[in-house]
Amino acid sequence: MQVVHQRCCGLDVHKKTVVACIMVTLDTGEVKKRVKTFSTMTVDLLTLADWLRSFQVTHVAMESTGVFWKPVFNLLEGDFTVILINAQHMKAVSGRKTDIKDSEWITDLLRHGLLKASFIPPQPIRVLRELSRYRTTLVQERSQEVNRLQKTLEGANIKLAAVATDVLGKSGRDMIQALIDGTTDADVLAELARGVLRKKLPQLQEALFGRVQPHHQTLLRHILAHIDFLDTQLAELQKEIEAHLFPYKEECELLVSIPGIQANTAAVIIAEIGVDMSIFPSAKNLSSWAGVCPGNRQSGGKRLKSTITGGNPYLRSVLTQVAWAVSHTKDNYLSAQYHRLARRIGKKKAIVALAHSILVSIYHVLRTKKPYAELGADHFDKLNTERIQQHHIRRLQQLGFEVTITKKEVA
């Protein structure tokens, strides 16, 4: 088998140790092998880098094991070509399994060019990715706290959520704060309503008549304090994200031109896939990596039923959110595509298909540096007007009508 990398190293990374195996292929074809174990402390990882340089190693490969690969990758990426591989793409031969055998197997595969590198964005994008993912976590945590708040109110027989659209709006906050302070009179609480909510005073009086106990007040106080804390953290984190997002202002504006994508969504997309689309050979490759395309399962010449691939859960989640938002809009191509598919394959599958189309649009927008071009809601009708015409004629005839078609003259 052809040797692709003459001086390479495979790393078997763990929480506390890294087992490194170097293979050097001489001009005579002889292979020299060196195996050594290092600690994952920074000082020892720098020693590992020096050891690799002493053998003039050019390529290093390691498995993507949780977060343990990140310290190693951070210290080696500047001096070596580091390849991060998916553990599912690399299966060792059967037999006794040891850390040394694993590192030797990785090195042997790398030596012959049999490893497929995972996509690792550049350092600025990785920083933005960590901030963006943490912001997503805080948003989810805040949603959980809001649900706990409503659960506590329901336990106190307060049905505020049944009348007010936003329990944490200005009126709702005032009412909840009054409950915490000890006010239990439903009429007094209802008078705290503002704006259009004052039109529902009778309903509010009924909803705010409950049985608030001291432990309910304690829970509401702590939950509100936590929500306020999370709001402060989100605001500070948003400023930090915007600062790191400033170099990609042009790409953000291009992404916002796509229906359903807002500024925060564009930030998440850039944090997950970056702005350099030359890394992905095609839009199909990006869709497969993101996990928004059908799986490929074939046997005996027949294509079997399969689900979508694993992909990137963060990117797939935000694309699904965008797809749901687009499905509630009108007068655009993406919305027309959703309703066209939903009638045939169902809403959930149509959402995944729409997420795929949105990602394809993102790929071309970022690759060509041109804004999204709207095809129009009538795009599918224009593709085959003859078929649509015959379909409606046939349906009317089935209902007992005699149909005559006269083409309208264009002024």
pLDDT in tens, 267-291: 999 999 999 999 999 999 999 999 9
Q: Between 18 and 29, where is the model more confident? A: 18
pLDDT tens digits, 308-355: 878 899 999 999 999 999 999 988 999 999 999 999 999 999 999 999
Secondary structure of the chain in the HEC alphabet? CCCCCCEEEEEEECCCEEEEEEEEECCCCCEEEEEEEEECCHHHHHHHHHHHHHCCCCEEEEECCCCCHHHHHHHHCCCCEEEEECHHHCCCCCCCCCHHHHHHHHHHHHHCCCCCCCCCCCHHHHHHHHHHHHHHHHHHHHHHHHHHHHHHHHHCCCCHHHCCCCCCCHHHHHHHHHHHHCCCCHHHHHCCCCHHHHHHHHHHHHHCCCCCCHHHHHHHHHHHHHHHHHHHHHHHHHHHHHHHHHHHHHHHHHHHCCCCCCHHHHHHHHHHHCCCHHHCCCHHHHHHHHCCCECCCEECCEECCCCECCCCHHHHHHHHHHHHHHHCCCCCHHHHHHHHHHHHHCHHHHHHHHHHHHHHHHHHHHHHCCCCCCCCCCHHHHHCHHHHHHHHHHHHHHCCCCCCCCCCCCC
- Say which amino acid occupies 78: G
Encoded tokens for 276: 């350099």
Region of poorest pLDDT, from 2-16, 250-264, 288-302: 288-302
- Say which amino acid occupies 56: Q
Domain 124-246, CATH among 1.10.357, 1.10.287, 1.20.950, 1.20.58 = 1.10.287
Domains 7-111 and 124-246 agree in fold: no
Query: Rounded to whole angstroms, how far apart are CA atoms 136 and 84?
Result: 25
**What CATH number belongs to 7-111?**
3.30.420.10
Query: Rounded to whole angstroms, how far apart are CA atoms 319 and 308?
Result: 14
How far is residue 396 CA from its own chain's centroid? 46
pTM for the whole structure: 0.85
Q: Is the pLDDT of residue 89 over 80?
A: no
Q: Is the pLDDT of residue 394 over 70?
A: yes
Query: Rounded to whole angstroms, how far apart are CA atoms 244 and 252?
Result: 12
The residue extents of the domains of the chain are 7-111, 124-246, 248-298+305-368
Supply the pLDDT for residue 179. 94
Region of poorest pLDDT, from 27-41, 143-157, 266-280, 381-395: 381-395
Residues in the chain: 411
**Per-residue confidence band for 405, with pLDDT thresholds at 50, 70 and 90:** confident
Over residues 185-200, mean pLDDT? 91
**Per-residue confidence band for 409, with pLDDT thresholds at 50, 70 and 90:** confident
